[in-house]
Structure formats: structure tokens, C-alpha cells
Structure 1
Amino acid sequence: MNLNRLTTSFFLLVILGLVACGPSQETKDLQLKAKQMFGALPNKMPGSENDTEALISLGKKLYFETKLSQNNTQSCNSCHNVEGKAAGVDNLPTSPGAFGKSGDRNSPTVLNAGFHFAQFWDGRAPDLKAQAKGPILNPGEMAMPSEAEVIKKLKAEADYPALFAKAFPDAKDALTYDNLAGAIAAFERTLVSSSRFDDFVNGDHKALSPEEQAGLNTFVASGCSSCHNGNLFGGNSYRKIGQVNAYGTTDLGRFNVTKDPSDKFFFKVPSLRNVALTGPYFHDGKVASLEEAVKKMAYHQLGQTMKDEDTTKIVKFLGSLSDKTKTN
């Protein structure tokens, strides 16, 4: 056997060895646990099966339309930035409105929002369409005086009447406030993120590093998954902030919607999808770093003083939940 054949045979053996060397039993067990406890995020949001190309295109144009604000300075994207590497937020503690005054709550990410069981921190809107109607008329946000004024403004534009007619071909009067919100919701239903965690759950054992796998184990063992569960890692329940140790806030949360005293200080559990990209954190935006957020949640929600090494592990894992297009 000559040298070339020996070299070829050697490399073939190496390749076969690498192929044969699959995931460890621990990794396979963790993949199964992750699939059972959380699961991968679906590729499409509920309702998107009825969204046409014309409707989505109109919704995207409206999402970036500053004329939906009273002084033509602010769009949906101003607070929920989806351009480039932005992860559906403005990364501010609270967002300034069209006239500069900041609101009381942190702007949550619009990425994957259509998977949530309700919208806003207090759940006052049941779905994306209802949510889209709010900020445009909110005096502290886009500050338009009425639905009628919004429609009057859009009808004065050269392109919107035809675009609405195309997106809503069966409507007698297509350019309505309800249809405006429906179009924005259709665009938002396209904002589905895909992460390395999903790849891991779907069978790619190399998608998470050993450190990230250790972080996932710590995340579950520490009790974080008692609130941050399901394929969104949250977004599916209300919980009291400070359920073990009190959290200092004057915001009454869900109570402002229901007027039920038992709902005081209850907020929608935020999804941890893209959490490494969406700081600052909590409903008030007062926590700057993800490390601090993890420690505070452990203390206020679970009654734990989390060790630095466990915090580091969990933060490492949470990075695997980021949209791959926003991190590459």
C-alpha cells in the first residue's frame, strides 16, 4: 500500500470516527427534556394562514408610517425597532412618545408577540390587532386625536386608498381603522424568530455548547421554568412581581384592567425569547443587565440568593434563545 492510499485510509477512519461519535447520553436526555418542557417555536403564528401578500405588505408600510402620529415623527417601529439587528425594542427603560414624554412601562419586543396569550404587560388587549389600535390614539404615545383623524390623514395620501383596496378586496370601504390594525397585525405575524435552542430541540446536538447546556439544566433546576415555560419561555400567564420577596413598584399592573384587588402587581410573564437582546428589563425597565435581572428574579420570585456561577450559566443559556439573524 503506497503512502497516498495510507493517507486516504487514515482520513476515512477519522471521518468515520467523527460520524460515529454522536451526542453523549446526557445531551440526548437534555434534548428530550427540552422538547418535553419547552419545545421549538412554530414557524408560523396563529392566524397567519389567512394573511395575503398584499395585506402583509400594507401592514409593513403602516408599521413604519410616521404619519400615524400627530406630529409625523413616530411610527410603531420607533419603540419596537425590527430593522437590522434590532430585536423589536428600542432598548430604553421606557419609551418617549411623539412629543417627547416617556411612558411608565418598558416597551416589550414585537418579535413573536403573536404567540402570546395576551398583549401589553397588563394583558389589556387580547391579540395583535387590538394591540395595534392602542398606541396610535394614546396621548402619551403617537397622540392621534381620533380614529377618524387617522383615516382622514391616510386618505389624503396618494397611495393608501389603492393599497387598502388591494389588501381588502371584498370590503366596500377598505380604508378603515379596523383594517389598519388588521394589516399591522398581519405584518407582525411574520416576525417569528429562529434560535439555536430550536435547532437543539429539533435534533442538532451541537447547537448548544456544553456551557449553554449546563445553563439550561441550571435554569430548570433553579425553578425559573415554573414561570418561564412553554415554547415562548413565558408569555402565557400572569404572575405577581415580588411573589416571595416584595418588589418596589407603584404600578398596580393587571389590577388597572380588572379592578380585582387580587390582581395587584400582577403582570404578564415576559417571554425569554431574545431576552439577551432586549434589555433593560422588567415592566419598569429599571434593570440594566441580564445578570442583574436573573438574580433579582431569583430573589423576588423564587426566594433564592443565586450564586454568581449559576447566574453566569443561566445567562449563557439565555443567549441561545436569540434570533440567529439578529446575532450573526
Structure 2
Amino acid sequence: MFKIRSLVTALALASSVSVASAWEVLPKEAPEPADNATTPAKVELGKILYHDPRLSSTGTVSCASCHNTMLGGEDNRPNSMGVNGQTGGRSAPTVWNAAFNTVQFWDGRAASLEEQAAGPVTNPIEMGMKNWDEVVARLKTIEGYQMPFERAFGTDTITKDAVTKAIAAYERTLITPNSPYDRYVSGDNSALTEQQVRGMEKVAELGCTTCHSGPAFNGPGVFQKFPVIPNGYWEAQYHFSKDKGLAEVSKKQADEHLWKVPTLRNIALTAPYFHNGSVKTLDKAVTLMAKLQLGKDLSKEEVADIVAFLNGLTGEFPKQQMPVLPGTLDSTFN
């Protein structure tokens, strides 16, 4: 079931979030579901699967192709490229700190990381496998996977459930704590510059934290309309309203242009911006958000201060050692 609320409810809940609640330190561990404990063996298997392009029909696209952990957790493309050079209509969300999202994907159609991990593999534009039976059959032909599955799940039986749980377990380790902002909130007054503090205060003053609240700056789990304020000039340039967001999934008119509130963590590294990747720079994104969501025209100085603060949300990235993938002994792409 989708956690779908009407726009009125979403706005009411968002406005009830106090500004103070936004100034929270990012936890160093993510919550995990009762049926998928984060164990070292499961995380290691998930890392291998996450980086294995053989989960795609052509053997060329992995989860990491669009959600690169060597970068900001996405691919810095306006629209990600899948099998056979195909591109979709949305920008890839970052995988860093995705464990703190209440729902996954821009339109919130997945309720968990496990559910999210299952989607792209059989999406015809993304990884292009016909179905999960085909995915499982392929993995079973790769002998080197039997032992990692045994270590992670106590059996070498490969299933869709095990694959998605392993990938999700790995993704729950992709957390970037200890940003300058986190250190500042924890009491280190020198962690942010004077300009960044001005930007932080401006973010609170404008009301940005009514939506981008909480330790991940991704809201209390509600959807938000974008854009709130129609603007023909900007629409003609960026085509924000072409994609109907949640309504593309729910088929409900009331859900048109509702989106999951994205995290602001590491946002300086994840250009281009917005669901369609149409805005190239962070300062332009800040200007547009103020105008289209809040009806505010910001000065260049105010934009610069906010951008400086957003740069202070870049955290420390855990070192990623690339896995050695199990070898393909016979061609699996006939």
C-alpha cells in the first residue's frame, strides 16, 4: 500500500514540523526491518550483487551504474542510461542515506529498500530482465554465488527475496555522517563558516525545513506538491509539470505533481537537480525552489548563503572497496 495522503494533509503535517526538529545529527546506523538484519555476510553479498552488471539483460548495467558510490550516490546525468542506451524521464536519486527515506523512488512507489531493489532489474528501460525467474536462473549458473548466499542466508538457494534483501542490507550501510553541519549541531561552533550559519538561519526563516526536516532533511514521510506556485516562464524552460509524479502510479488526479521529499544531504554532489534533472546548478535550484514553493525572490547574497550551508551537509563517506565478482565460466547472455 502506498503511504498516500492528500496535498492538504501533506501540507498540514509538514507545517507542524518545528524548525528545531530539523537540526538533528544524522545517525551512524540505519533502522532495519525485523526480517532483514544487517549482517556482515549479507552486506558483502549485497555489495557484490549491487555492482554486478549480470543482473541486467545485456550484462552491462548494474545498480551502481546509476547509483555510483564512488560519486554522490547517483550518476550526475539528467536522466539515467539503462540497457541498450535507453534513458528514462527522471534523474536517479542518491543511494547515500536512502535508508532514512520513508518511501523510495521519486514517486514513492516502493515502501522499503527491499522493494526498491526489485524494481529496476525488470524495468525494460533500466536493467531490462524479463522477470525475476530469469534473474534467479542466471545467478544459479554462476557457481561463485553459492558460497556467499550460504554465508548470508544459511542456504545456497538463490531467490528473489534473498537477492533484494542482500542489496538492501548493503544499502543500509551507505550513510554519510559527521558533516560540518553535524559537527556544528553537536557543539563545534567552528565547523560551519559565518556564511554557512547565515544560510542555515535563512533556510529556517524561509520555511524550507517544514518539508526538508529531520536528520536526513527529507521530511516526515509525506509527499509534497512541486511546483506549488505555477510559473509559465520557468515551466517553459524546465518542464517540471510534464511528469505527474505520484499520479503516474496511483492514477488519481489528486496526486498529480506530488513527490517524495528528497534529502538535502550531499546535495552539492548530486547535480543536476529536480526529478527530471533539468536544473544544472545548485544556486539555480535554490532560486527556483524559493520562487516556486515559497513565492520568494531571493537576492544573490541570500542564495549564496544558502548554497554555502547546503555544502555543509556533505558528510564523510565510508570507504568503498570494490568487490571481486564471481567469474562467468560460460556465457550467460545467449
Question: Which residue among 314, 318, 321 is the counterpart of 2:310?
Answer: 318
Structure 2 distance, partners of 1:318, 1:308, is: 15
Tell me the C-alpha RMSD between the 2 structures: 1.7
Structure 2 distance, partners of 1:37, 1:180, is: 35
Counting matched residue pairs gives: 290
Match of 1:214 in 2: 198
Question: Which residue among 167, 173, 176 is the counterpart of 1:193?
Answer: 176
SS in 1 for 2:184: helix
Structure 1 distance, partners of 2:59, 2:199, is: 45
Match of 2:24 in 1: 39
The alpha-carbon deviation at position 228 of structure 1 amounts to: 1.1
Runs of 4+ in 1 over 6 A off after TM superposition: none
Query: Could you state the TM-score of these two structures normalised by the residue count of structure 1?
Result: 0.85
The alpha-carbon deviation at position 319 of structure 1 amounts to: 0.3
Q: How does 1:97-136 map to 2 (within 5 A)?
A: 97-136=82-121
Please tell me whether the aligned partners of residues 264 and 310 of structure 2 are also in contact (alpha carbons under 8 angstroms): yes
Match of 1:59 in 2: 46
Please tell me whether the aligned partners of residues 219 and 314 of structure 1 are also in contact (alpha carbons under 8 angstroms): yes
The alpha-carbon deviation at position 299 of structure 1 amounts to: 0.6
2:286 counterpart of 1:299: no
SS in 2 for 1:292: helix
| Distance of aligned partners of 1:34 and 1:200 in 2 relative to their CA distance in 1, 3 Å threshold | farther
2:55 counterpart of 1:68: yes
Match of 1:180 in 2: 163
Match of 1:288 in 2: 280
| Distance of aligned partners of 1:34 and 1:197 in 2 relative to their CA distance in 1, 3 Å threshold | farther
Bigger CA drift: 261-270 or 123-132? 261-270
| Distance of aligned partners of 1:285 and 1:89 in 2 relative to their CA distance in 1, 3 Å threshold | same
| Distance of aligned partners of 1:206 and 1:289 in 2 relative to their CA distance in 1, 3 Å threshold | same
Instruction: Indicate the structure (1 or 2) with the bigger Cα radius of gyration.
Output: 1
Q: Unpaired segments of 5 or more residues in structure 2?
A: 1-17, 319-334
The alpha-carbon deviation at position 35 of structure 1 amounts to: 5.9
Structure 2 distance, partners of 1:53, 1:218, is: 42
Please tell me whether the aligned partners of residues 67 and 74 of structure 2 are also in contact (alpha carbons under 8 angstroms): yes
Structure 1 distance, partners of 2:108, 2:267, is: 19
Deviations 1:230-263 (A, max 9, x none): 1111253211111123454211101122222111
2:187 counterpart of 1:203: yes
Deviations 1:61-89 (A, max 9, x none): 00000100111001000000002xx1101
Partner letter of residue 137 of structure 1? T
The alpha-carbon deviation at position 181 of structure 1 amounts to: 0.4
- Where relative contact order (Cα < 8 A, 6+ residues apart) is larger, the structure is 2
Please tell me whether the aligned partners of residues 245 and 299 of structure 1 are also in contact (alpha carbons under 8 angstroms): no
Structure 1 distance, partners of 2:186, 2:307, is: 22
Please tell me whether the aligned partners of residues 245 and 301 of structure 1 are also in contact (alpha carbons under 8 angstroms): no
The alpha-carbon deviation at position 285 of structure 1 amounts to: 0.2
The alpha-carbon deviation at position 51 of structure 1 amounts to: 1.2
| Distance of aligned partners of 1:216 and 1:209 in 2 relative to their CA distance in 1, 3 Å threshold | same
The alpha-carbon deviation at position 34 of structure 1 amounts to: 7.6
Structure 1 distance, partners of 2:110, 2:120, is: 11
Q: How does 1:218-257 map to 2 (within 5 A)?
A: 218-235=202-219, 236-246=221-231, 247=235, 248=239, 249-257=241-249
Percent sequence identity over matched residues? 41
Match of 1:264 in 2: 256
